[in-house]
Chain A
Amino acid sequence: MVILNNISKTYNDGRVIAVNDVSFDVNKGELFGLIGPDGAGKTSIFRMLTTLLLPDSGTATVNGRDVVKDYKYIRNNVGYMPGKFSLYQDLSVEENLQFFATIFNTTVEENYDLVKDIYVQLEPFKRRRAGKLSGGMKQKLALCCALIHRPKVLFLDEPTTGVDAVSRKEFWAMLQSLKEQGITILVSTPYMDEAMLCERIALLQKGNIMSIDTPENIISTFPDALYAVKAHGMSRLQDVLRNDPGVNSCYSFGDYHHITFTEGNNADDPEEIREVHDKTEFDHFPEYPHVSALLRRIQHEGFQDLEIKRISPGIEDCFIHLMENKLH
């Protein structure tokens, strides 16, 4: 449904490389995520695919039509929700929706079934000006306006940025139900936890694709055994772990630090080590000398309530790992 072939885009006479030789396909009916921080190139990719920006090189098609030559067709057949709120602030909720339906030569009634579930939540405020809506409501209205002409592909640029964790969950539930209605969705986000809600994802950093696959497959390519460690005094524990010769990487993840080892780093590592609280228990793992050696060193530093366990990596672990590979 969406195909990019070696797309590049630069700004400032080539000094800023926004998108660097990017290729990927989005299948019909797929929910595909572009995952990456600011400056990864997400918005530039969206603007090229929605015909608002010309690529420097490479080609791209949406529903088989070229994004440069067939821009008129594409504009009529895609929905685009930019990262910045772009509806008419001094039109009311219902006026905005009617306006966008009219522009696309259709009516609200004709496609109401598609937006109904979302629009009913806005209905109590339908005479309120769009500019006076809350963040979550604006976002829902923008989604309705992007859908009202029943687009073949929906492009959503960071729809959940700055949105609280509860509203973010609601928004993703709406995307799932749109997907079930057969709409192809390309969505970007800087929140790594949202990657798991996509069928396939591209991890982007500084204009480059670091990996494209299903979230599960990306996770399965994480090369090292990953452990979560916790003890009383997490800030000092991080310093100790980072300076430990046996530790390869150490990043904080909420109430644990995630670490990998420099050696013995493979699938033979114990599947699960739970809540190791005192020295005697360390000796339960004589076959994993790198693990018990580290535990002894940590305990020697005087840490209390030590806990270590083997864990499965998340997308954020993978993203960090891929970024580190790029750096070295």
Chain B
Amino acid sequence: MEGTKTGVAENKFLSASEVVIRTDKLTKRFGDFVATNEITFEVYAGEIFGFLGANGAGKTTAMKMLCGLSRPSSGKAVIAGYDIYKDTERIKKKIGYMSQKFSLYEDLTVMENIRFFGGIYGLSNKHLQKKSHELIETLNLQNEANLMVTSLPLGWKQKLAFSVAVMHEPRIVFLDEPTGGVDPITRRQFWDLIYSTADKGITIFVTTHYMDEAEYCDRVSIMVDGVIEALDTPANLKRRYSVASMDEVFYHLARGAKRSVD
């Protein structure tokens, strides 16, 4: 399918870039139902990769496999250098994850959350001490360090959750609709964080329903009915479908979706 060819001309990652996600016909079946059907793609180090699709297209299933949480039915994948069947525990150490639904423990303080997740990710006490102070300072949360997370505004929580998810300097961070319900200014500040994290070489793998955010990605894949229908830079996708916005690209591809199973 033509859509699976990557945007060669404009891809700043093409030269000398390391592949951090490589899948080959990755498939997940639930009985007769093929949730994710032979998806093949690569993601490069430091890339902001948008993973779009209609509800029920198979995004969540694919993400669970890539995070080492769900065993594929068939196909191959290497994540951060590790095999998706044999090395799931190693994969988990090399990735971060954040979503709007799962982020932080509301009834722990800001500092407690940082220490808790730092511990989970295996940071040493000394390293954790240093990291937590850096993090509090970068986010300007000095006055809130000992407050319960529940008392923070949503936008702050999301920024904190993101920072916690990359505290252990993973190769890839998976963001599942990280900006849902966030106000327009905070939503943009969140993307500033994403950019600066990608500049450090951490790969961003992000899903969103905001089509303007699709424009901020280096490359975007669009899943329809379990397959990757298109994968390219936003500029190339718009050119291919002769439209002015990613919203129209998405509409063009996803309105043909047959299934809508979550």
Chain A contacts to B: CB under 8 angstroms: 36-39, 134-137, 161-169, 190-192, 205, 234-235, 251-255, 316, 319-320, 323-324
Contacts and interface: CB of A to CB of B under 8 A. Distances in A.
B255 interface: yes
Contacts of A37: 154-155, 181-184, 186
B7 interface: no
7 contacts: A36-B183, A39-B154, A162-B180, A164-B250, A167-B55, A191-B210, A255-B235
Pick from A136, A164, A191, A251 the residue with the most CB of B within 10 Å.
A164
A253 B56 contact: no
A285 B247 CA distance: 33
Given A137-B260, A254-B212, A164 B54 contact: yes
B157 to A, nearest CB: 10
Given A136-B260, A254-B246, 4 more contacts: A162-B209, A163-B209, A165-B250, A255-B234
A266 to B, nearest CB: 24
Contacts of A135: 55-56, 260, 262
Contacts of A234: 216
Given A235-B195, A253-B212, A166 B185 contact: no
A168 B184 CA distance: 19
A235 B217 CA distance: 11
A159 to B, nearest CB: 13
B245 interface: yes
Q: Which size class do B's interface residues fall under?
A: 35 or more
Interface string B165-182: 000000000000100111
A134 B212 contact: no
Interface string B237-262: 00000000111001100110101111
Interface in B199-254: 199, 209-212, 214-216, 234-235, 245-247, 250-251, 254
A169 B251 contact: yes
Given A37-B154, A164-B55, A253-B212, A316 B257 contact: no
Contacts of B185: 251, 320, 323-324
A134 B251 contact: no
Contacts of A255: 215, 234-235, 245
B82 interface: no
A254 B54 contact: no
A39 B185 CA distance: 14
B191 interface: yes
Contacts of B31: none
A165 B183 contact: no
B245 A162 contact: no
Contacts of A165: 209, 211, 247, 250-251, 254
Given A39-B154, A323-B184, A166 B246 contact: no
Nearest to B235: A255
Nearest to B216: A252
Given A134-B55, A254-B212, A164 B254 contact: yes
Contacts of A164: 53-55, 209, 250, 254
A204 to B, nearest CB: 10
B244 to A, nearest CB: 9
Nearest to A136: B260
Contact of A316 (B154, B182, B184, B246): B184
A214 B254 CA distance: 31
Contacts of B255: 166
Pairs of residues from A and B, 9 with the lowest C-beta to C-beta distance, nearest first? A37-B183, A38-B181, A254-B215, A254-B212, A164-B54, A134-B260, A255-B215, A166-B254, A135-B55
A164 B211 CA distance: 10
Contacts of A323: 183-185
Contacts of A136: 55-56, 260
B260 A38 contact: no
A254 B245 contact: yes
B64 interface: no
Contacts of B188: 251-252
A316 B179 CA distance: 15
A163 B56 CA distance: 10
A168 B260 CA distance: 13
A305 to B, nearest CB: 11
Pick from B153, B184, B214, B247 the residue with the most CB of A within 10 Å.
B184
Interface in B74-112: none
Pick from A190, A205, A319, A323 the residue with the most CB of B within 10 Å.
A190
Contacts of A191: 210
A151 to B, nearest CB: 26
A319 B251 contact: no
A216 B174 CA distance: 38
B211 to A, nearest CB: 6
Contacts of A169: 251
